[in-house]
């Protein structure tokens, strides 16, 4: 099964993608991981991507698609995969559809984890991160034993700039402008399935399993 995860930043789609990958024995593929792997391996596409990233520019879609198609051509993707963080725009989705179509394949499920903006702002502004060991917490959902202190290494926790309400609002604006149209795109393709992302993490996952089958 070939799956695309949709949803706003902070909707929890990355967490659900990992759980899907574990349950069904298929790889969880994020563009960030693909970039890092290609750059580390020194591939031609990786070096091209690095040149753009080093200049603070976005990596062009054709390079990203090239790396993605290389990745899903690997043996561990034979039974399928979960794409997380790609596509983000309609042109990317069209390129992906075209590249898969050339191999006689298509996306089977586009799972939209639906969470209202207000919930996302509250959810993300409650996150706390340890810059020392990389642990993450949440003041409501995953609190620390001692306020403001990392359970694992004892360092001070911070609210990352990415998680500040004003930053989250801007990220949501970009999502509504560029990424939300993918919901219509995959709806027209007959692949869209929407789940209520305001439920508990386990209930969201159960809703997804009900769609994909046990």
What's the rounded Cα separation, in Å, for the pair 34 and 129? 24
36-79 pLDDT, tens digit each: 999 999 999 999 999 999 998 889 999 999 999 999 999 999 99
In this predicted structure, what is the pLDDT of residue 141? 85
For residue 27, is pLDDT > 80?
A: yes
Q: What mean pLDDT is predicted for residues 165-171?
A: 92
Residues 23, 190 contacting (CB under 8 angstroms): no
Average predicted confidence (pLDDT) for the chain: 94
Task: Indicate the pLDDT class of residue 32, thresholds 50, 70 and 90.
Answer: confident
Q: Tokens 């290389």, residue? A: 70
Residues 28, 84 contacting (CB under 8 angstroms): yes
Give the rounded percent of residues in the chain with a pLDDT score beyond 90. 87
Which helix (H) or strand (E) covers residue 138, if one does? strand 136-138
In this predicted structure, what is the pLDDT of residue 41? 96
Q: Could you tell me the domains of the chain?
A: 2-26+79-206 (3.40.50.300)
In this predicted structure, what is the pLDDT of residue 74? 95
In this predicted structure, what is the pLDDT of residue 206? 98
In this predicted structure, what is the pLDDT of residue 162? 86
Catalytic site positions: 13, 88, 127, 160, 171
What's the pTM value of the predicted model, to 2 decimals? 0.85
88-115 pLDDT, tens digit each: 999 999 999 999 999 999 999 999 999 9
Give the rounded percent of residues in the chain with a pLDDT score beyond 70. 100
For residue 214, is pLDDT > 80?
A: no
- What is the DSSP secondary-structure string of 16-73? HHHHHHHHHT--EEEHHHHHHHHHHHT-HHHHHHHHHHHTTPPPPHHHHHHHHHHHHT
In this predicted structure, what is the pLDDT of residue 82? 98
Beta bridge pairs of residue 5? 84, 111
Q: What mean pLDDT is predicted for residues 148-153?
A: 96
Alpha carbons within 13 angstroms on the beta-carbon side of residue 103 total 13
In this predicted structure, what is the pLDDT of residue 212? 97
């Amino acid at each position: 099964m070939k799956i695309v995860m949709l949803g706003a930043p902070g909707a929890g789609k990355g967490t659900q993608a990992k759980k899907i990958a574990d349950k069904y024995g298929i790889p969880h593929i994020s563009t960030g991981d693909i970039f890092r792997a290609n750059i580390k391996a020194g591939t031609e596409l990786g070096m091209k991507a690095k040149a753009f990233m080093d200049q603070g520019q976005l990596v062009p879609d054709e390079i990203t698609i090239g790396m993605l198609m290389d990745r899903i051509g690997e043996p561990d993707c034979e039974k399928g995969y979960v794409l997380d963080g790609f596509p983000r725009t309609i042109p990317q989705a069209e390129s992906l559809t075209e590249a898969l179509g050339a191999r006689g394949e298509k996306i089977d499920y586009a799972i939209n984890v639906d969470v209202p903006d207000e919930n996302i702002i509250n959810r993300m502004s409650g996150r706390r991160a340890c810059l020392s060991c990389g642990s993450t917490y949440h003041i409501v959902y995953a609190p620390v034993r001692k306020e403001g202190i990392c359970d694992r290494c004892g360092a001070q926790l911070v609210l990352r700039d990415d998680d500040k309400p004003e930053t989250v609002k801007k990220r949501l604006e970009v999502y509504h402008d560029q990424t939300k149209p993918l919901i219509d795109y995959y709806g027209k393709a007959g692949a869209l399935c929407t789940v209520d992302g305001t439920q508990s993490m386990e209930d969201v996952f159960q809703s997804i399993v009900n769609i994909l089958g046990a």
